[in-house]
C-alpha cells in the first residue's frame, strides 16, 4: 500500500474524524451488537467508497485501492489454507493428539497458565512463527483447558503471549527480519536491543500467569478420562512425532514456512494413510472439510474435530475485507494525511519514540496488518531518527514492541481473526490476558518518555548502551 499515495491529501481533522468514526463503528458492532466483524467492515468500505466519490475520485481508482490492499494479504491467505490443512492432517496422523497427551501430563501440576506461556514461548522461538505455534502447541494446550474447568480466555491469552514472544525474538521470524531490514539494522543487534523491553515483559507476564494459575492440581480422574479417550481414538503412535520432527528440522534449516507446512502436511497425511486411520479418498477430503473424530467419548470428539481449508474461509474472507478497507484509507489519503502531519510536529527524541509506537498501533487498528504497521511506520520515521541522532535499532525495536505484538489484539486484524478461529476464543475475551502483548508497547513508551535504554547514534558501535536523558 506504500505506493497508494493520492495527489492531494485531505485535511487532517477530516481524516481523523473519518478514521475514528469507522473504527468506532466497527468496534460498536463487534463489542456491543456481538456482530461478526465482516458486516461493519463491509459498511466501512461502503462509507469510504462514498467519501472517495464525493472527493471526485473515479471508481476505478477506488477499486484499485481495494485490490492493492487485498493483495498485500495474499501470502497470509495462502498460509492460512495450509495451516488449516496442517491441523486436519496432524489430527489424522495423531501428531496433535500426542502433543495433547504430553500437555495433559504437564497440566496435572500447578502453574498451568505460566507453563503454557513458557512452552509456547520456547516453541515460538524455535519455529519463528506465531501462527504455526498457535495452530500446533496452542491447540493442544487449549484442548487441555477445554477438558477441565480452566479458563479458556486466560489459556488463550497465555498461548498468544508466548507465541508472540517467540515471533518477536526468533531470528527465524518474518516480522523480526522485516523490522531489521526496513531500517537497515543487523538482525542480531536488533534482537539484543529488544531484550530491554522483551525480558521485563516476559518476567512480569510469567509472574501474572503464575498468580492466576489454579492453586491446586486438577482432578486426576478428569484428566485420565481424556487421556483414555485419546488412547481409545487409536490416533496416537510413535510415528505421530515424525511430522513435528520434520517441521523442527526444516525450521532449523530455514526452509520457507510455505514449503515446511506443505511437506509436513503431506507427511502426516501419508502416515495416516499407511496406518489406515481413514481410507485414502477420505484423507484427501479432510484437507478441505477438516478431521472429524468418531469415538465413544463426545468430549474427545470435540477436541479432535478441527482443521481444514473450509474452516479457514471465515478468516480469509475477513482478512481480505479488512485489507481492502485499508487500501481505501490509503488511496483516499486519509492515513497518509495523518502520517504527514505527525512527521512535521515532532521535535524531541522522546516524542519521536512515543509517536512511533502510537503510529504502529494506529496502523494495526486501522489496517489490521502487522507487516504494514512495520513497513509504513519504519519508512515514515527513519529520517526523524537520523535528525534526532538516535540509532536506528531504537526504531526497529519500537516497530516490534508496538507493531508485531499489537496485531493479535485487534479483532479484525489478520492475526486476531486467525487466532480467534484456531483457538476458539474471541479476541475481546482473551485480550485482557495477553499480558506480554500489552506490556511491550507500555514499556517501550515508558522508556521513550524517560529516555532510558535509548541508544544514541554515536554509540552504535560501542559495546555498552548509553542513555539519552
- pLDDT, one tens digit per residue, over 27-41 is 788 777 877 778 888
Mean pLDDT for all residues in the chain: 81
pLDDT of amino acid 45:
92
What tens digit of pLDDT does each residue of 134-188 get? 887 788 788 778 777 788 999 999 999 999 998 888 766 777 777 777 777 877 7
Pull the grid cell for residue 282. 477420505
Nearest partner of 163 among 126, 213, 211, judged by Cα: 126
Residue ranges for the chain with pLDDT beneath 50: 219, 221, 462-469
Tell me the residue ranges of DSSP E strands in 129-177. Answer: none
How far is the CA of 291 from the CAs of 134, 392, 436, in angstroms?
A: 18, 47, 32
Taking a C-beta distance cutoff of 8 angstroms, is the pair 233, 293 a contact? yes
Nearest partner of 120 among 146, 159, 176, judged by Cα: 159
pLDDT of amino acid 467:
39
Q: How far apart are alpha carbons 1 and 234 in whole angstroms?
A: 49
Pull the grid cell for residue 433. 490476558
Taking a C-beta distance cutoff of 8 angstroms, is the pair 411, 30 a contact? yes
Angle between helices 174-182 and 392-399 (to 10 degrees): 150
pLDDT of amino acid 334:
85
Cβ of 365: how many Cβ atoms within 10 Å? 20
What tens digit of pLDDT does each residue of 251-260 get? 778 777 788 8
Q: How far apart are alpha carbons 356 and 376 in whole angstroms?
A: 10
Taking a C-beta distance cutoff of 8 angstroms, is the pair 398, 360 a contact? yes
Lookup result for grid cell 508496538: 402
DSSP 216: S
Nearest partner of 418 among 148, 176, 169, 133, judged by Cα: 133
pTM given for the model? 0.68
Taking a C-beta distance cutoff of 8 angstroms, is the pair 214, 110 a contact? yes
Q: How far apart are alpha carbons 21 and 47 in whole angstroms?
A: 10
pLDDT of amino acid 466:
38
Taking a C-beta distance cutoff of 8 angstroms, is the pair 368, 412 a contact? yes
Three-state SS for 266-332 is: HHHHHHHHHHCCCCHHHHHHHHHHCECCCCCCHHHHHHHCECCCHHHHHHHHHHHHHHHHHHHHHHC
Amino acid at each position: 500500500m506504500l505506493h497508494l499515495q493520492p495527489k492531494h491529501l485531505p485535511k487532517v481533522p477530516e481524516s481523523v474524524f473519518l478514521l475514528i468514526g469507522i473504527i468506532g463503528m466497527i468496534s460498536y458492532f463487534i463489542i456491543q451488537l456481538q456482530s461478526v466483524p465482516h458486516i461493519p467492515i463491509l459498511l466501512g468500505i461502503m462509507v469510504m467508497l462514498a467519501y472517495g466519490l464525493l472527493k471526485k475520485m473515479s471508481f476505478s481508482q477506488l477499486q484499485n485501492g481495494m485490490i492493492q490492499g487485498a493483495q498485500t494479504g495474499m501470502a497470509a491467505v495462502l498460509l492460512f489454507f495450509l495451516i488449516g490443512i496442517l491441523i486436519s492432517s496432524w489430527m489424522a496422523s495423531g501428531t496433535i493428539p500426542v502433543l495433547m497427551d504430553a500437555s495433559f501430563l504437564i497440566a496435572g501440576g500447578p502453574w498451568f497458565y505460566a507453563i503454557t506461556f513458557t512452552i509456547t514461548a520456547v516453541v515460538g522461538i524455535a519455529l519463528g512463527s506465531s501462527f504455526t505455534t498457535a495452530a500446533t502447541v496452542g491447540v493442544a494446550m487449549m484442548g487441555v483447558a477445554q477438558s477441565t474447568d480452566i479458563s479458556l480466555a486466560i489459556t488463550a491469552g497465555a498461548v498468544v503471549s508466548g507465541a508472540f514472544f517467540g515471533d518477536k525474538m526468533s531470528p527465524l521470524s518474518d516480522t523480526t527480519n522485516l523490522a531489521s531490514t526496513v531500517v537497515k539494522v543487523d538482525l542480531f543487534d536488533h534482537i539484543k536491543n529488544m531484550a530491554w523491553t522483551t525480558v521485563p515483559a516476559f518476567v512480569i507476564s510469567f509472574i501474572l500467569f503464575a498468580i492466576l494459575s489454579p492453586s491446586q492440581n486438577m482432578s486426576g480422574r478428569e484428566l485420565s478420562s481424556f487421556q483414555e479417550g485419546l488412547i481409545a481414538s487409536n490416533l496416537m503412535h510413535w510415528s505421530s512425532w515424525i511430522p513435528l520432527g520434520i517441521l523442527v528440522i526444516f525450521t532449523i534449516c530455514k526452509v520457507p514456512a510455505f514449503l515446511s507446512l506443505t511437506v509436513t502436511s503431506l507427511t502426516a497425511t501419508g502416515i495416516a494413510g499407511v496406518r489406515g486411520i481413514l481410507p485414502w479418498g477420505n484423507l484427501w477430503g479432510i484437507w478441505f472439510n477438516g478431521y472429524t473424530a468418531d469415538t465413544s467419548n463426545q468430549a474427545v470428539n470435540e477436541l479432535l474435530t478441527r482443521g481444514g481449508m473450509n474452516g479457514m474461509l471465515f478468516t480469509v474472507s475477513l482478512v481480505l475485507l479488512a485489507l481492502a478497507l485499508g487500501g481505501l484509507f490509503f488511496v483516499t489519503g486519509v492515513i497518509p494525511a495523518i502520517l504527514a502531519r505527525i512527521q512535521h510536529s515532532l521535535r524531541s527524541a522522546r516524542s519521536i519514540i512515543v509517536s512511533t509506537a502510537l503510529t504502529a498501533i494506529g496502523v494495526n487498528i486501522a489496517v489490521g496488518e502487522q507487516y504494514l504497521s512495520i513497513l509504513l511506520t519504519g519508512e515514515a520515521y527513519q529520517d526523524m531518527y537520523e535528525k534526532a541522532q538516535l540509532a536506528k535499532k531504537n526504531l526497529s525495536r519500537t516497530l516490534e514492541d508496538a507493531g508485531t505484538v499489537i496485531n493479535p489484539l485487534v479483532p479484525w486484524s489478520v492475526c486476531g481473526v486467525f487466532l480467534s478461529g484456531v483457538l476458539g476464543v474471541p479476541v475481546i475475551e482473551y485480550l485482557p490476558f495477553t499480558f506480554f502483548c500489552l506490556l511491550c508497547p507500555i514499556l517501550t513508551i515508558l522508556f521513550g518518555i524517560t529516555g532510558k535504554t535509548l541508544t544514541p547514534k554515536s554509540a552504535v558501535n560501542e559495546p555498552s548502551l548509553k542513555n539519552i536523558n
